[in-house]
């Protein structure tokens, strides 16, 4: 008999050699039906795995992240099998699960839409065949022999880099065998709904020197409802793609003469500056000093910081008067020199120092993605210099500042604490103090958080802050990083109450992450319909004909005098056309149509985007309404996708 402990604390005895799925069936048929994978003593394993020893057992469903990962990776095997059936001779590469679904790479001519339809139908056939996923562990040599016999050159290449004597797991379903460490679903019929999504070219191992393969993306779910919801969100995400919206709203553009560096247009400069103004407003409340450090600094600085040895390949280096210099890839070393520019007393601490620093980092052209991945960007950095007894309060202050900023944009967020890994610098005692400071702050803050054991940087523990936009997509934007490396490297000290020098403790922290990426995130978050305070055009004034232009100009001037950004549409176009363009193309929050009635009465029918006519206002009362909305930074209605 074996004793099995379950997550609720209960312990039950079963016959030795019982499988995980048999245990699930013994508990309830519903659990067995919903379970995707088992976790035995913390290790993911197939549901068919036999249990020979006392253990802890947990069943994971599709709703669990690890369960979803297994579900999607198993489906990638099915899709690869379908491709091989339909296109004999195709060579397979790799097929991992990703954030939304999975992909598989093939050596094949580019796939057409018709090909994807055929693959989708073949996958459905394989699902109905109820093929079992069977695991087999073989030696490195046996695996090489097998895949060489199949002429699977990419699998052979993956195996050849493994040391001799290594054992390898392979999974077979039907006639298809893949190199895979697993685990997998019980059978192909465990997958209920599948859809191919798209296809694109992809270099083997992401290296442009290697062969160009064809990548097929797919998705699968346990129910049609979940698939329908995914497709609905995907369709909305395509409409909200920030690159598309950036063009439509005339915010920014990219040009081959400056790859990976955005050109901001007039409207884009307005939005970017408003983000900066708001950032400064919130930082001023919390007592931050803003500094600015040079973009170009000498090699010696980057050697002291450690970047020259560890990050040089990502830096732009130039020579001036026989001295090597680099464009800064990050602001931290400059901030260290600012601190060292004078002596600091314990009475000055904490020192909260912010910088909107323009940084440059080398990126492969294939990795560039609109504003999300660029070569040059503005990082909203800050460094807090403090004593050890101030860690908790300063961390709390950063989290509360983060909360204010993210809530202003309607962004939900989650927190994660990353602790010391195997590689680290500094004393264990210092790590314990730093980690406990972060943990204590999170506990006092009161919001749930997860612990990423061993995921800290080598120089200190950190808190990562993940935002979730209106479509449910998560981004790691904010980070609060305790650093015990740079204060040591730069010999940063303060004078304590006994006139002794003490090592200062430092926090790195960013909230937007970068202005560019944050702009891309909120563009998609709002679908281009910015809140009034952030909209590049806040009001569109539209005379119905030329004879009302003078009066409409007076109305516009009144708005401008109150600090509003106004579009005066005096074109000789039909008013319906003007309204549709302002609403759907320019995405203007408010529209005023000016005609005979408005001129005679001074009362205006106001249109609001997505709501239509919202009533009649005299000019002063309407200005009062929108000034209040602007000043309170009210979020627009209807920006969240109704799920």
Omega within 30 of 0 (cis) for the link into 155: no
Question: One of 77, 508, 525, 586 is an active-site residue; which one?
Answer: 508
Q: DSSP secondary-structure letter at 100?
A: T
- In the residue annotation, 473 being an active-site residue is answered as no
- In the residue annotation, 427 being an active-site residue is answered as no
Question: One of 68, 328, 352, 383 is an active-site residue; which one?
Answer: 383
* Dihedral-angle region of residue 425 (phi above 0 means left; psi in -120 to 50 means alpha; beta otherwise): beta
Question: One of 58, 77, 240, 361 is an active-site residue; which one?
Answer: 361
Helix extents (H) in 320-427: 332-340, 391-408
**How far, rounded to the nearest angstrom, does the alpha carbon of residue 64 sit from its chain's CA centroid?**
19
Distance CA(111)–CA(201), nearest Å, equals 10
Question: One of 39, 392, 462, 587 is an active-site residue; which one?
Answer: 462
Closest CA to 566 of 597, 536, 529: 536
Backbone φ, ψ for residue 580 (5° rounding): -60, -40
- In the residue annotation, 379 being an active-site residue is answered as yes
- In the residue annotation, 627 being an active-site residue is answered as no
The two most distant CA atoms of the chain are separated, in Å, by: 94
Task: Give the strand pairing for 412-418 and 323-327.
Answer: unpaired
Q: Residue 220 has which token pair?
A: 């699968």
Distance CA(175)–CA(80), nearest Å, equals 11
Question: One of 105, 180, 332, 352 is an active-site residue; which one?
Answer: 332
Closest CA to 91 of 186, 212, 180, 261: 212
- Which residues have CB under 8 Å from 609's CB, separation 6+? 529, 583, 587, 588, 589, 590, 591, 636
Distance CA(548)–CA(377), nearest Å, equals 45
Per-position DSSP letters for 209-237, written without gaps between them: TSPEEEEEEEEEESSHHHHHHHHHHHHHH
- In the residue annotation, 462 being an active-site residue is answered as yes
Distance CA(252)–CA(267), nearest Å, equals 8
Task: Give the strand pairing for 35-40 and 296-298.
Answer: unpaired
Question: One of 115, 380, 381, 569 is an active-site residue; which one?
Answer: 381
How many other β-carbons are positioned within 10 Å of the β-carbon of residue 117? 11
- Which residues have CB under 8 Å from 323's CB, separation 6+? 298, 299
Distance CA(297)–CA(317), nearest Å, equals 10
Residue with tokens 């004597």: 165
Closest CA to 22 of 53, 59, 56, 55: 59
How many other β-carbons are positioned within 10 Å of the β-carbon of residue 450? 12
Q: Residue 328 has which token pair?
A: 């800064």
Closest CA to 132 of 95, 176, 169: 176
Helix extents (H) in 64-206: 65-86, 113-128, 140-149, 153-160
- In the residue annotation, 332 being an active-site residue is answered as yes
* Dihedral-angle region of residue 322 (phi above 0 means left; psi in -120 to 50 means alpha; beta otherwise): left
Question: One of 81, 131, 214, 379 is an active-site residue; which one?
Answer: 379
Active site residues: 332, 361, 379, 381, 383, 462, 508
């Amino acid at each position: 008999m074996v004793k099995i402990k379950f997550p609720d604390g209960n312990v039950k005895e079963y016959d030795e050699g019982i499988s995980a799925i048999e245990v699930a069936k013994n508990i309830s048929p519903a659990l067995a039906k919903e379970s995707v994978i088992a976790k035995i003593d913390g290790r993911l394993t197939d549901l068919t795995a036999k249990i020979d020893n006392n253990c802890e057992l947990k069943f994971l469903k599709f709703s669990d992240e690890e369960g979803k990962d297994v579900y999607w990776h198993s489906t990638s095997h099915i899709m690869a099998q379908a491709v091989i059936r339909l296109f004999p001779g195709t060579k397979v590469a790799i097929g991992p699960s990703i954030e939304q679904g999975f992909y598989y790479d093939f050596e094949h001519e580019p796939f057409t839409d018709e090909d994807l339809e055929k693959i989708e139908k073949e996958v459905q056939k394989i699902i109905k065949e109820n093929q079992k996923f069977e695991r087999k562990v073989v030696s490195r040599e046996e695996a090489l022999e097998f895949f060489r016999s199949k002429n699977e050159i990419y699998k052979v290449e993956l195996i050849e880099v493994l040391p001799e004597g290594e054992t390898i797991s392979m999974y077979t379903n039907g006639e298809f065998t893949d190199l895979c460490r697993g685990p997998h679903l019980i059978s192909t019929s465990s997958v209920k709904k599948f859809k191919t999504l798209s296809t694109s070219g992809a270099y083997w191992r992401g290296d442009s020197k290697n062969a160009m393969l064809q990548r097929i993306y797919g998705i699968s779910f346990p129910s049609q409802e979940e698939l329908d919801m995914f497709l609905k969100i995907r369709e909305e995400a395509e409409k909200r793609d920030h690159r598309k919206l950036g063009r439509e709203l005339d915010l920014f553009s990219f040009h081959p003469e400056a790859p990976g560096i955005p050109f901001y247009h007039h409207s884009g400069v307005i939005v970017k500056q408003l983000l900066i103004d708001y950032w400064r407003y919130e930082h001023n409340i919390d007592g931050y000093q803003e500094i600015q450090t040079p973009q170009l600094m000498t090699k010696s600085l980057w050697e002291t910081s450690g970047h020259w040895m560890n990050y040089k390949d990502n830096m732009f280096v130039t020579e001036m008067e026989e001295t090597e210099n680099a464009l800064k890839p990050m602001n931290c070393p400059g901030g260290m020199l600012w601190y060292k520019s004078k002596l600091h007393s314990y009475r000055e601490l904490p020192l909260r120092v912010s910088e909107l620093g323009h940084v440059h980092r080398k990126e492969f052209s294939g990795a560039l993605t609109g504003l999300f991945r660029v070569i040059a960007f503005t990082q909203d950095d800050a460094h807090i210099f403090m004593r050890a007894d101030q860690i908790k309060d300063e961390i709390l202050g950063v989290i509360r500042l983060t909360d204010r900023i993210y809530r202003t944009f309607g962004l939900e967020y989650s927190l994660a604490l990353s602790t010391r890994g195997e590689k680290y610098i500094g004393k264990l005692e210092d790590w314990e103090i730093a980690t406990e400071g972060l943990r204590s702050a999170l506990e006092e803050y009161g919001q749930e958080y997860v612990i990423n054991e061993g995921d800290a940087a080598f120089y200190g523990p950190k808190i990562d802050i993940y935002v979730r936009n209106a479509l449910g997509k998560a981004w790691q934007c904010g980070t609060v990083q305790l650093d015990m490396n740079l204060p040591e490297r730069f010999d940063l000290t303060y004078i304590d109450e006994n006139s002794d020098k003490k090592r200062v403790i430092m926090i790195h922290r960013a909230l937007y992450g970068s202005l560019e990426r944050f702009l891309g995130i909120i563009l998609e978050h709002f679908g281009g319909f910015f809140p009034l305070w952030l909209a590049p055009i806040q009001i569109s004034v539209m005379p119905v004909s030329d004879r009302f232009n003078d009066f409409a100009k007076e109305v516009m001037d009144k708005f401008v005098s109150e600090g509003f950004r106004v579009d005066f549409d005096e074109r000789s176009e039909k008013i319906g056309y003007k309204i549709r363009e302002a609403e759907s193309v320019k995405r203007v929050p408010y529209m005023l149509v000016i005609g005979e009635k408005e001129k005679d009465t001074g009362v205006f029918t106001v249109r609001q985007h997505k709501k239509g006519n919202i009533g009649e206002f005299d000019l002063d009362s309407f200005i009062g309404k929108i000034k209040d909305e602007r000043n309170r930074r009210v979020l627009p209605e209807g920006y969240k996708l109704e799920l």
